[in-house]
Amino acid sequence: MPKLITALRQGYGFGDLRADLIAGLTVAIVALPLAMALAIASGTTPDKGLVTAIVAGFLISALGGSRYQIGGPTGAFVVVVFNVIAEHGYDGLVLATLMAGAMLVVLGYGRIGTYIKYVPYPVVTGFTAGIAVIIFTSQIKDLLGLTMDTVPADFLSKVAAYAQALPTADAATMAVAFGSLALILVIRRLKPGLPIFLIAVVAGSLAVALVGLPVDTIGSRFGGIPTTLPTPVFPEITWQRLVDLSPSAFTIAFLAGIESLLSAVVADGMTGRKHRSNCELVAQGVANIGSALFGGMPATGAIARTATNVRSGARTPVAGMAHAVFLLVFVLALAPLAAFVPLASLAAVLVIVAWNMSEVKHVRHLMKAPMGDRVVLLLTFGLTVMVDLTVAIEVGVVLAAMLFMHRMANAVEVQTHTHLIDDDEDDFTRPRTPDYEPLPEGIEVYQISGPFFFGAAAKLGDVLDKLRRPPRVFILRMRLVPLIDATGGHALQEFLHRCRGHGTRVILSNVQPQPRQVLAELGFREDDHLGFTPDTPTAIAEATALLRAGR
């Protein structure tokens, strides 16, 4: 059931509508320049990005499983969309998007959304950082105003072509580009709540129009933006085209599923709500089908825009639907003005988008993880940049699975010194595990059993949601955890972050050597919110003392 129906059944008043409309307008202002910039970076025209944000954005919010999800074109699709258009034309992209939408609907009704979250964290970080590098390099031509007939798709060829065309750099274009970039950085530091992308694009447009700078604009390169939505068109379908476009459709579906569920998880963490992953996949599928039929691009949940929606006070999916309606109004009323937008300013916007996608902090964090996780991260990153996104995802997931099997084998080897079947012993010669006294109010004790790897890490985030109210002290027993990987460490970090937000202290008891080493490498240190104890009774005693002290 879509969250829209749930929200309306719970009661929807004028105050809710007002809050949703304000949030929708705020997000629409942020999404307007992004939609055009991402479409241009993907090798198509800016109106395709706007159509995607309007049609897919409305459907994702209306049918999705998250209260706060904002859908539309995102940076994750830039690489695959550019490659599909270059190889099969725009009509091929439409068919691939339709196929991906159908896949997502099937996956949602097949309840596969529950399992997509098990994709290892190093793989997600690796291909996301790789996409960021590709987006950045794709904007160098418009940043510097280089004179080039075509920009090669291959990364190394692209860099060589840029180096060859460097003497043709245009001073006026660079002034607009770097001026827009500086304006974005200054406003983000001084007034982060303002719509920095729109301000930079408007300022660049005014500078070009008033001074008469000879730089490329949307009007000079694309002829402006239509003032109406296109009519639905069905692409040509043949068996051979379906076969040829299947890998691209799979990649689009995979990215849409991963990105949308990641975005929904971020919204859950910000609000304490819970999304419905399978419902979200169905909505993503329907939205991609709708976007393709109206001449748009692939769409998914946009993490930054979803976070903006939450911060702007959204209460229900009506905010996301309103964001799409406001974008439609902007297109109908302001389309002629878009012709004056300089491509250099949009390139500056995408440079910031690429930096935000690169997740440098997470990459640095993962570089402290065990060697296997680092190899998965770097290999996925390298294949994304140098070869192909589909290959990178496939190799990354397979390598992570092989790494997990290797770790499981090592975990078994570590424990083979114990007897598989214990001999019979009476109660007098074998000490019994003490039965703990009833816990004081404000203390919760949970135990993790088995390897804490990428397949099990997602379950930890559900623990707090099952409690009626967050405890003062949360004891996590880890005696039965023989190993932990980077994804498990990341999940534990996210859990600690949520506990800090609730003022909950976490105590990890009886952490085994391999998990203790991995957590140390990932930067886990004792502080006011995290502690380590050798066993559970010590942890309970420490928690009880903290409660009595009123801490």
Weakest mean pLDDT among 81-90, 228-237, 445-454: 445-454
Weakest mean pLDDT among 173-182, 214-223, 460-469, 524-533: 460-469
Kindly indicate the confidence band of residue 3, based on its pLDDT and cuts at 50, 70 and 90: very high
Kindly indicate the confidence band of residue 68, based on its pLDDT and cuts at 50, 70 and 90: very high
Structure tokens at 87: 């190889």
Q: Is the per-residue pLDDT at 436 higher than 70?
A: no
Q: Is the per-residue pLDDT at 468 higher than 80?
A: no
Q: Check residues 106 and 223 and name the one with the higher pLDDT.
A: 106
Cβ atoms of 543 and 443 closer than 8 Å: yes
* C-alpha dist (Å) from residue 36 to 47, 334, 347, 353, 378: 7, 13, 11, 13, 31
pLDDT value at residue 54: 96
Q: Is the per-residue pLDDT at 486 higher than 90?
A: no
Most confident of 3-17, 94-108, 254-268, 526-540: 94-108
pLDDT value at residue 319: 95
Of 253, 522, 202, 547, the closest CA to residue 389 belongs to 253
- In a 3-state reduction of DSSP, which class is residue 258? helix
Structure tokens at 6: 């749930």
* C-alpha dist (Å) from residue 167 to 125, 139, 148, 163, 343: 35, 17, 11, 8, 20
Cβ atoms of 208 and 335 closer than 8 Å: no
324-344: pLDDT as tens digits:
999 999 988 888 888 889 999
User: How many residues can be counted in the chain?
Assistant: 551
Kindly indicate the confidence band of residue 447, based on its pLDDT and cuts at 50, 70 and 90: confident
Range list of H helices, 415-535: 462-466, 486-501, 513-521
Kindly indicate the confidence band of residue 149, based on its pLDDT and cuts at 50, 70 and 90: confident
DSSP state of 478: E
Mean pLDDT, the chain, integer: 86
381-435: pLDDT as tens digits:
999 888 888 788 888 888 888 887 777 666 544 443 333 333 444 444 444 444 4
d(CA 495, CA 477): 14
Kindly indicate the confidence band of residue 228, based on its pLDDT and cuts at 50, 70 and 90: confident
Residue type, 222: F
What average pLDDT score do residues 492-496 get? Answer: 86
pLDDT value at residue 429: 46
Q: Phi/psi class of residue 25: alpha, beta or left (left: φ > 0; alpha: ψ in -120 to 50)?
A: alpha
Q: Is the per-residue pLDDT at 314 higher than 60?
A: yes
d(CA 424, CA 428): 12
Strands annotated E in 342-450: 443-449
d(CA 249, CA 243): 10
What average pLDDT score do residues 477-505 get? Answer: 85
pLDDT value at residue 551: 60
HSE on the CB side for 526, CA within 13 Å? 7
Q: Is the per-residue pLDDT at 530 higher than 70?
A: yes
d(CA 160, CA 382): 18
pLDDT cut 70: percent of the chain above it:
91
H helix count then E strand count, the chain: 23, 6
342-368: pLDDT as tens digits:
999 999 999 998 888 887 888 888 888
Residue type, 149: D
Kindly indicate the confidence band of residue 437, based on its pLDDT and cuts at 50, 70 and 90: low
Kindly indicate the confidence band of residue 456, based on its pLDDT and cuts at 50, 70 and 90: low
Q: Is the per-residue pLDDT at 75 higher than 50?
A: yes
pLDDT value at residue 458: 60
pLDDT value at residue 416: 37
Cβ atoms of 437 and 160 closer than 8 Å: no
155-165 helix and 121-138 helix, angle to the nearest 10 degrees: 30
pLDDT value at residue 462: 67
What average pLDDT score do residues 296-311 get? Answer: 90
pLDDT value at residue 424: 43
Q: Considering the entire predicted model, what is its pTM?
A: 0.74
Of 361, 177, 17, the closest CA to residue 185 belongs to 177
What average pLDDT score do residues 258-278 get? Answer: 84
Q: Is the per-residue pLDDT at 287 higher than 60?
A: yes
